[in-house]
Amino acid sequence: MTTHFATSYPRTGVTVLGLGAMGSALAARLLDIGYDVTVWNRTPGRDTVLVESGAHPAETVADAAGANPLIVVCLLRATSVYETLTPVVEQLRGRTLINLTTTTPNEARALADWADRHGIAYLTGAILAVPDMIGTPAAQIFYSGPQPIYEQHHELLDTWATSTYDGADPGMASLVDLAMLSGMYQMFAGFFHGAAMVGSEGMTAEEFARRATPFLRAMTSGFREYAAVIDAGDYTAPGQQSLEFSDLGHIVSASEEQCVDPATLVALQGLITREIAAGHGSEGFARVFESMRADTGDRTAERIA
Ligand code: NDP
């Protein structure tokens, strides 16, 4: 594993709860760097390699929680975190919990409230990487919650990935993570749909990928231009491709002619049509953002209430 970050850290004790693919990678990286690591997993036997590398196995989650001042949790989902930690809240009181389990923003906020009620210092982490990337700068992990917790453990966090602090709202790291994944999945859906279209006439997905990759890569340069338009909120500035020009009806028709389900495209077409129907057809394509975006004023008021 690459050790491109600083390699001399104080050898503080860390507990890692959850030794699935990701939890194991996180624990392994800490061991590589020289941390004193205690590990626990619900199903026994998943700690063998880590223990061979020097990790201390904990028989119970209570033992694991009580072993160190810092507890890292990486379980399947938010409910797994409650199931695992609720029985040991007393052991966790006064300790720090960094939760790297994927959660929705509201799940992260609820977990932060839960931790606060039990006297546990809590930081949300959201991993944008696969396990093999842990310990390389290509891995990204976003954090949100109390800044002092982030600052205190910054060096340790940086051993896993490129860390970004996303502010005090414990839901923010989850939100950024899931927004990134939304972009990724919709990009892949577009690729699958295109592959199904040409596949209906025999072109292999491999050939389509070969031809689509440079085109789509080039198109990502458009993000910055669209972002400037969205942030300025001006969809009438000259030089923008209009919504009317962006009508996807012909692509939907082509898909249907080839008996390929255009569902993903139809969803986008619906947003375009909504903006055109509202009288914005001559404005820029990025106006689709207005069809999607949250009314942040109401949402903020709702959360405060
Ligand atoms: P795995 O399926 O490999 O492991 C899941 C882990 O959660 C296991 O340790 C499992 O224990 C534990 N678990 C599940 N339910 C419970 C429960 N009710 N109580 C106690 N333990 C439970 O998943 P990953 O390790 O890959 O993922 C862990 C987290 O990391 C997830 O939230 C995932 O979204 C996130 N993540 C993973 C990425 C990846 O590429 N793998 C990428 C980014 C984020 P047991 O062995 O007993 O089943």
Strand pairing class (140-144; 162-165) = parallel
* Domain co-membership, 12 together with 137: yes
Number of structural domains the chain divides into: 2
Q: Is 298 exposed, middle or buried (0-12, 13-18, 19+ CB in 10 A)?
A: exposed
* Domain co-membership, 183 together with 248: yes
* Other beta carbons less than 10 A from residue 203's beta carbon: 14
If the chain, 305 residues long, is cut into consecutive pieces of 10 residues, what is the mean pLDDT of each piece?
A: 39 91 98 97 97 98 97 98 97 97 98 98 98 97 98 96 98 98 97 98 98 97 94 93 94 98 96 95 96 67 47
* Domain co-membership, 35 together with 137: yes
Q: Which residue in the block uniquely carries the two structure tokens 């720090």?
A: 96
Q: Specify if 304 maps to a domain.
A: no
* Domain co-membership, 77 together with 118: yes
* Domain co-membership, 136 together with 184: no
Cα torsion at 244, 245, 251, 254 (round to 10°)?
A: 100
Residue 222's CATH number: 1.10.1040.10
> What pLDDT sits at residue 68?
97
* Domain co-membership, 143 together with 226: no
* Domain co-membership, 192 together with 290: yes
Kindly tell me the sign of the dihedral angle through the C-alpha atoms of 274, 279, 281, 287.
Answer: negative
* Domain co-membership, 14 together with 140: yes
- What is the distance between the alpha carbons of residues 48 and 31, in angstroms, rounded to a whole number? 14
* Domain co-membership, 180 together with 149: no
- Report which residue type is found at 175: L
From 16, 75, 85, the mutation candidate for ligand 1 (largest count of ligand atoms within 8 A of CB) is: 75
CB distance 22 to ligand 1 below 6 Å: yes
Q: Which residue in the block uniquely carries the two structure tokens 């009314």?
A: 295
Give me the helices (H) in the chain, please. Answer: 21-33, 48-52, 61-67, 78-85, 89-92, 105-117, 147-152, 154-158, 172-199, 205-219, 222-232, 249-257, 263-275, 288-292, 296-304
> What pLDDT sits at residue 11?
57
Quick one: DSSP state of residue 240?
P
Is residue 135 a contact partner of residue 32, using CB atoms and an 8 Å limit?
A: yes
**Residue of minimum CA distance from atom 12 in ligand 1:** 75
Q: Specify if 20 maps to a domain.
A: yes
Q: Specify if 155 maps to a domain.
A: yes
* Domain co-membership, 49 together with 194: no
* Domain co-membership, 28 together with 113: yes
Last residue of a domain, one of 167, 200, 216: 167
Residue 135's CATH number: 3.40.50.720
Last residue of a domain, one of 115, 137, 167: 167
* Domain co-membership, 158 together with 251: no
Q: Specify if 218 maps to a domain.
A: yes
Domain that holds residue 93: 2-167
**Residue of minimum CA distance from atom 40 in ligand 1:** 130
Distance 255 CA to ligand 1 centre (A): 38
Atom of ligand 1 nearest to the CA of 42: 47
Last residue of a domain, one of 108, 138, 167: 167
| Interior/surface letters 221-245, b for 16+ CB within 10 angstroms, e for the rest | eeeeeeeebbeeeebeeeebebbee
> What pLDDT sits at residue 297?
52
